[in-house]
Amino acid sequence: MFSRDPAGERSTEDTNDMATKLTVPISEEQIRALKVGDQVLLSGIIYTGRDAAHKYMIENFIKGDCPDSEKALYEELKQGLAGSVIYHCGPVVRKRDDGKYEFVAAGPTTSIREEPYQADVIEHFGLRAVIGKGGMRDKTLTGCKEHGAVYLHAIGGAATLIADTCEEVVDVFKLDFGVPEAFWKIRVKDFPCVVTMDSHGESLHAKVQAESEGKLKKLLAG
């Protein structure tokens, strides 16, 4: 996502010039304009959510009846996720002396574990993007195409740098799930990522897998 200046150093200014800047809430039109390979700088309020969070949303909000005790959380997510983003992330979090939380590290989690849930979550909550690493498969890709969403690949191994884009931890929900699995509501500024699954049915992950399988077959045949 970086180009190099004449001295050979990576330039964040060049990255900013090349990237599409998106601010939550994101419109379907903005998402439909993106294609695989596009660089994105994301700003606004987004939420983290991993295995426990996705399973919980499916069982309590999408396929099950919402318990009275969880209606406040449902309304928070229903309003907050519309036009927004879920980040597959189990952050390292520090509680400050003033009682507020801050992210110390916030690298992406492998996304494929959310494949059984993601398309339903995109549809129900009106998500416009999912951030993670490693990509997802056909069910999620179909959901992105049908409902106007994209998969954004975050840089693995850059947990501290990504945490620096988190300007504020606004709130946290279901902390009883544990810090990595809770819903963290955060405000980000220029979070860097790349579109690797778009709303037109294209997936860089699927292409890489197909090419790899083809090369493997040639090697075995040889």
209 three-state secondary structure: helix
Structure confidence by residue, pLDDT tens digits, 157-169: 778 889 999 999 9
Of 63, 60, 94, 55, the closest CA to residue 75 belongs to 60
Domain ranges within the chain, ordered by starting residue: 11-221
Instruction: Compute the average pLDDT of residues 182-199.
Output: 97
Structure confidence by residue, pLDDT tens digits, 67-84: 999 999 999 999 999 999
CATH code of domain 11-221: 3.20.130.10
Dist. CA 64–CA 193, nearest whole Å = 33
pLDDT score for 12: 44
What are the catalytic residues? 54
Higher pLDDT, 210 or 90: 90
pLDDT at 29 over 50: yes
